[in-house]
Amino acid sequence: MLGSILVFILVLSILVLVHELGHFIVARRMGVKVEEFGFGIPPRLIGKKIGETIYSVNALPFGGFVRLHGESDAEGITDSKRAFLNKSKKARALVVIAGVVMNFLLAIVAFAVVYSFSGIPRDTGKLKVIDVAPGSPAQVTGMVVGDIITNVGGSPIVSSDDFISKTAALKGKKTVFEIQRNSAGQESQLKITLTPRESPPEGEGPIGVTITTMEIYYPPVWQRPFYGIYYGFKDALFWGQTIVLGLGDIIGGLFNGQVPRDVSGPVGIFAVTTEAAKNGAITLINFIGILSVNLAILNILPFPALDGGRLLFIGIEAVTRKKVSPKLEGTIHNIGMIILLLLILVITIGDIRRLITFGGIQGFINSMVK
């Protein structure tokens, strides 16, 4: 359990620190004075001032924060030229959005690492047998793993869907299957006659094979980072779209009085992180990528206290040509933070109940995917 907790803290800290690092780097570039860059949540344990910035380690080891001069309190400004509130709308918007951008970049890097080590999936266009059920028509007539099915009943096979529809249409009829087989480096063409079953066991299909057109490609080592970044970028976009659509379903469900069961808070993330870590470093890194996209999407939502909420106020200023009172904006963000904390509390209570009800982490995860 201690190991799981440490992994969870490490994952959470990486996600939040990378996010805050984005704010830190762009704030410095925009000439904003950064008062503190902290690891963990205060109270402060140790801190060292380097230049004008305090670099601190804090008591609660969850993530981190960046404290900008004049971020929300106009009265506390001592260096007006370098105060965040006094910077241009463009500069403030860039500082605000930098955390989200960094989380997307982290996701791309995480996915790139996964692809670099695990290979690149690609469609070969060839229907390859990857499993044969014992006692099935395919097994009885001699079909083996590695065979490539090229023709069914005199018709060429062009895709997995094509194969499924043709075997379904030929149930109960003797059918000739043409296959390619590579044995000891020798390729041969074979014809196998079998009868697709009309009522196959669940999960087996009419002839009892599992097929795929995909294979794992391992590029030369020097090319892997480039392939990884390309496919990592595609994965980041895919997960971003998936999360946005999921949020839409959640919000729609809430308006209809339905609380989605697959919404989880810190306890749920801890459970999934623990399970991912059990499956190895690559699975954990992939999960970090997914979480990082999640954090980016959630942070850009136009809700007070989130980066998207701060961006919204900058947008209002751009439209009305009048800056919202820093005091009023600060109050709205504080209210938003209270609402978010209450929401996290409610979700966490639900997570704990599910954890108890379903008998631990594995049962909890199964309850989320059903």
Boundary of a domain, candidates 217, 249, 283: 217
Please list the active-site residues. 20
Integer angstrom CA distances of residue 257 from 112, 252, 253, 273, 344? 40, 9, 6, 30, 18
342: amino acid identity, one letter: L
Residue 111 shares a structural domain with residue 144: no
Residue 233 shares a structural domain with residue 306: yes
What's the pTM value of the predicted model, to 2 decimals?
0.83
Residue-range definition of the domain harbouring residue 187: 121-217
Neighbours of 324 (CB within 10 A): 15
Q: What token pair was written down for 62? A: 């969850």
Residue 131 shares a structural domain with residue 239: no
Residue 141 shares a structural domain with residue 98: no
Q: What token pair was written down for 236? A: 């980041």
Total residue count of the chain as it appears in this document: 370
Q: What is the pLDDT along the chain (370 residues), one digit of tens a residue?
A: 677 888 888 898 899 999 999 999 999 999 999 999 999 888 899 999 999 999 999 988 777 899 999 887 666 677 778 999 889 999 999 999 999 999 999 999 999 999 999 999 988 889 999 999 999 999 999 999 999 999 999 999 988 999 999 999 999 999 999 999 988 778 899 999 999 999 999 888 999 999 999 889 899 999 999 999 999 999 999 999 988 888 877 777 666 666 566 667 777 788 888 888 888 999 999 999 999 999 999 999 999 989 999 999 999 999 999 988 888 888 999 999 999 888 888 888 877 877 777 666 666 566 555 5
Helix (H) or strand (E) holding 241: helix 224-255
Q: What token pair was written down for 289? A: 């990528």
Residue 199 shares a structural domain with residue 319: no
Sign of CA dihedral 329, 333, 339, 343: positive
Boundary of a domain, candidates 217, 237, 269: 217
Phi first, then psi: what are they for 14, rounded to 5°? -60, -45
Residue 114 shares a structural domain with residue 161: no
Burial degree of 298 (CB within 10 A; 0-12, 13-18, 19+): middle
Residue 100 shares a structural domain with residue 243: yes
Q: What token pair was written down for 200? A: 């196959």
CA distance 283 to 274: 11
Number of domains observed in the structure of the chain? 2
CA distance 45 to 329: 30
Which residue in this structure is represented by tokens 């260096």? 79
Considering all CA atoms of the chain, what is the largest pairwise distance in Å, rounded to the nearest integer? 87
CB neighbours of 291 closer than 8 A, spacing ≥ 6?
A: 11, 15, 269
What pLDDT, on the 0 to 100 scale, is given for residue 137? 95
Residue 171 shares a structural domain with residue 108: no
Residue 289 shares a structural domain with residue 357: yes
* Burial profile 235-256: b = 16 or more Cβ within 10 angstroms, e = fewer: bbeebbeebeebeeeeeeeeee
**DSSP conformation letters of 89-116:** HHHHHHHHHHHHHHHHHHHHHHHHHHHH
Residue 68 shares a structural domain with residue 48: yes
Residue 236 shares a structural domain with residue 349: yes
What pLDDT, on the 0 to 100 scale, is given for residue 291? 94
CA distance 369 to 308: 29
CA distance 327 to 175: 78
CA distance 273 to 304: 28
Residue 149 shares a structural domain with residue 203: yes
What pLDDT, on the 0 to 100 scale, is given for residue 145? 94
- Determine the distance from the C-alpha atom of residue 319 to the mean position of all C-alpha atoms in its chain, rounded to a whole number: 34
CA distance 252 to 25: 37
- What CATH number is associated with residue 186? 2.30.42.10
CB neighbours of 368 closer than 8 A, spacing ≥ 6?
A: 261, 262, 264, 268
Tell me how far apart the terminal alpha carbons of the chain are, to the nearest angstrom: 26
Boundary of a domain, candidates 217, 249, 265: 217
Which residue in this structure is represented by tokens 């309190």? 73
CA distance 93 to 97: 6
